[in-house]
């Protein structure tokens, strides 16, 4: 294995993924991509999230101006599943309320797929976490919408923010629910010679 450190590029606009990478001391540069997100016919949620992560990483690699041997791109996608249905980003207040009512008092699954590519090879890992919500009242759901937090979150809540008050229990990786399972991402970074735990300025 080469001891030359590789430069990481993040093919994601998610502020939460960026913060998680910074949390474990990873230096990275964002790369802009445009990947359509639409479920294909007969595609399972697992297949969908895995395909999107791989497609984002590979699109990020193609977007590099002069991709070289010491460059690696990370792509990721996170989604929630309840009763086999995707928990998508809410399309308005009524949709957000519908999502949160469906999760109230029940457990749902959050899946994140993480893909790393160096142009020659690509690795993809899929992580699942069970999240149990307490019973939510209609007034809480309405108040939560007006905080603005649910708007851009899959499932209409953010566990790392105000939505933490809804979560009774999680089984599995917490960082996975935020958007990047660090316990799975770190070994992948090591495999591709991307250092973490770097000193902070």
Just list the catalytic residues.
77
42-67 burial, b if ≥16 CB within 10 A, otherwise e?
Answer: eeebeebbbbbbbbbbbbbbeebeeb
Count Cβ atoms within 10 A of the Cβ of residue 75 and give its class: 0-12 exposed, 13-18 middle, 19 or more buried: buried
- Side-chain half-sphere CA neighbours of 173 within 13 A: 20
- Kindly report the backbone phi and psi dihedral angles of residue 34, in degrees, each rounded to the nearest multiple of 5, phi listed first: -135, 100
98-128 burial, b if ≥16 CB within 10 A, otherwise e?
Answer: ebbebbbeeebbbbbbbbbbbeeebebbbbb
Q: What is the spatial distance between Cα 24 and Cα 109, in angstroms, rounded to a whole number?
A: 25
Q: What is the spatial distance between Cα 141 and Cα 118, in angstroms, rounded to a whole number?
A: 43
**Could you give the residue ranges of the DSSP H alpha helices within the chain?**
15-23, 45-63, 93-103, 138-146, 174-178, 182-191
């Amino acid at each position: 294995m080469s001891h030359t450190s590789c430069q990481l590029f993040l093919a994601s606009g998610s502020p939460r993924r960026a913060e998680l990478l910074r949390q474990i001391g990873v230096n990275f540069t964002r790369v802009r991509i445009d990947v359509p997100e639409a479920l294909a016919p007969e595609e399972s949620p697992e297949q969908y999230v895995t395909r999107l992560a791989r497609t984002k990483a590979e699109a990020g690699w193609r977007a590099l101006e002069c991709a070289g041997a010491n460059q690696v791109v990370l792509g990721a996608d996170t989604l929630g599943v309840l009763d086999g249905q995707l928990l998508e980003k809410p399309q308005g207040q009524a949709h957000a309320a519908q999502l949160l009512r469906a999760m109230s008092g029940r457990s749902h699954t959050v899946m994140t797929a993480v893909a790393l590519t160096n142009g020659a090879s690509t690795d993809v890992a899929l992580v699942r976490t069970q999240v149990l919500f307490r019973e939510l009242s209609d007034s809480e759901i309405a108040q939560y919408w007006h905080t603005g937090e649910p708007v851009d979150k899959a499932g209409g809540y953010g566990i790392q923010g105000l939505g933490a008050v809804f979560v009774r229990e999680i089984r599995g990786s917490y960082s996975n629910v935020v958007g990047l399972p660090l316990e799975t991402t770190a070994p992948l970074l090591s495999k591709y010679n991307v250092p973490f735990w770097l000193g902070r300025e």
